[in-house]
């Protein structure tokens, strides 16, 4: 039986959807902090189990009889390494054979502008490898799905105001990564492998401005402010310091090329071309 964690979230829900196209619901279980959120999935015959990454006993109970576990990284920023390590330890204790983990694509292991986030992935990968469990590490690219957050609600009127410079990144659509993860879970041959799930298409914010212009038929500029002006402008507008810090961290990581992709395994595991960024953005910005 395969268990997917984070099944109330975007990636988990989509992975379950793709997995059910490949294997029967009776072979699929999911983990949720609040199982009542998953009534629809339960009605399909999926085994919905309660568990919380912060509660090791709940995880050991939930992982009974599971052979393959898909650990979706926690959305908690503060204590992520501990939560993931709890999951890996519980998997080992419960007799799970194979763990598949959503890590993230990166260039540097230290001194990243988003080291606070990156470190939890690095710690988890190390812990998984040291556990002796069979593993598959999915190094997921930067979600195209977070772009609207970087672009802001009024991007079509104001242009792009984000200090990421002109460096290109491989923005990768979350549903593609979910489908690829479902393929890894359902098939064999992925034991002790690490895959980069990113697109070959690399774009800068100038390119994104051009894509938005072409989708909407009106000029969308790319202001590309300095980090200092960005911080000052958002702070004056009353944005919370934590959000501004996170936005600047990602902009800096993009500027340094952390998410630029060369070789990627996504197309091979998907068995088709990943969604082009223009197609993804058209669905959001064409109305």
Ligand X SMILES: NC(=O)c1ccc[n+]([C@@H]2O[C@H](COP(=O)([O-])OP(=O)(O)OC[C@H]3O[C@@H](n4cnc5c(N)ncnc54)[C@H](OP(=O)(O)O)[C@@H]3O)[C@@H](O)[C@H]2O)c1
197 lies in the binding site for ligand X (CB under 6 A): no
- Three-class DSSP category at 33: coil
Sole binder of ligand X in the list 1, 17, 33, 165 (CB under 6 A) = 33
Beta carbon nearer to ligand X, 96 or 159? 96
- Three-class DSSP category at 95: coil
CB 158 within 8 A of CB 152: yes
Instruction: Return d(Cα 222, Cα 31) in angstroms, integer.
Output: 42
Which residues, at least 6 apart from 219, have a Cβ–Cβ distance to it below 8 Å? 213
Sole binder of ligand X in the list 2, 4, 8, 215 (CB under 6 A) = 8
173's tokens: 């659509």
Which span sits near ligand X by CB under 6 A: 5-13, 18-26, 41-49, 107-115? 5-13
Beta carbon nearer to ligand X, 9 or 221? 9
Closest-CA residue to 32 (of 20, 55, 43): 55
Sole binder of ligand X in the list 43, 146, 149, 229 (CB under 6 A) = 146
104 lies in the binding site for ligand X (CB under 6 A): yes
Q: Could you say which residues in the range 243-272 bind ligand X, by CB under 6 A?
A: none
Sole binder of ligand X in the list 1, 22, 27, 54 (CB under 6 A) = 54
Buried b (16+ CB within 10 A) or exposed e, 55-69: bbebbbebbeebebb
Beta carbon nearer to ligand X, 75 or 283? 75
Instruction: Return d(Cα 151, Cα 158) in angstroms, integer.
Output: 10
User: Applying CB under 6 A, which residues contact ligand X?
Assistant: 5-6, 8-12, 33-34, 52-54, 72-76, 83, 102, 104, 140, 142-143, 146
């Amino acid at each position: 039986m395969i268990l997917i964690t984070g099944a109330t979230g975007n990636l988990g829900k989509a992975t379950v959807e793709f997995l059910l196209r490949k294997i029967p619901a009776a072979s699929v279980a999911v983990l949720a902090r609040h199982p009542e959120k998953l009534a629809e999935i339960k009605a399909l015959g999926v085994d919905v189990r309660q568990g919380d990454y912060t509660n090791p006993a709940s995880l050991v109970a939930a992982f009974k009889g599971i052979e393959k576990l898909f650990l979706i990284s926690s959305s908690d920023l503060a204590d992520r390494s501990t939560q993931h390590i709890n999951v890996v330890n519980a998997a080992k204790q419960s007799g799970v054979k194979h763990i598949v983990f959503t890590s993230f694509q990166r260039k540097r292991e230290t001194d990243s502008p988003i080291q606070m986030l990156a470190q939890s992935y690095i710690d988890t990968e190390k812990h998984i490898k040291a556990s002796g469990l069979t593993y598959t590490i999915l190094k997921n690219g930067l979600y195209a799905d977070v772009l609207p957050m970087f672009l802001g609600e009024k991007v079509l009127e104001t242009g792009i105001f984000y200090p990421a410079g002109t460096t290109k990144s491989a923005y990768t659509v979350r549903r593609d990564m979910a489908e690829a993860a479902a393929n890894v879970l359902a098939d064999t041959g992925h034991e002790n492998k690490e895959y980069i799930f990113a697109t070959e298409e690399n774009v800068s914010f100038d390119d994104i401005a051009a894509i938005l212009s072409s989708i909407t038929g009106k000029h969308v500029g790319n202001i590309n402010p300095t980090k200092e002006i960005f911080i000052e402008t958002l702070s004056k507008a009353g944005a919370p310091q934590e959000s501004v810090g996170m936005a600047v961290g990602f902009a800096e990581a993009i500027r340094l090329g952390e998410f630029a992709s060369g070789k990627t395994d996504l197309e091979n595991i998907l068995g088709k071309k990943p969604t082009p960024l223009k197609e993804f953005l058209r669905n959001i910005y064409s109305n």
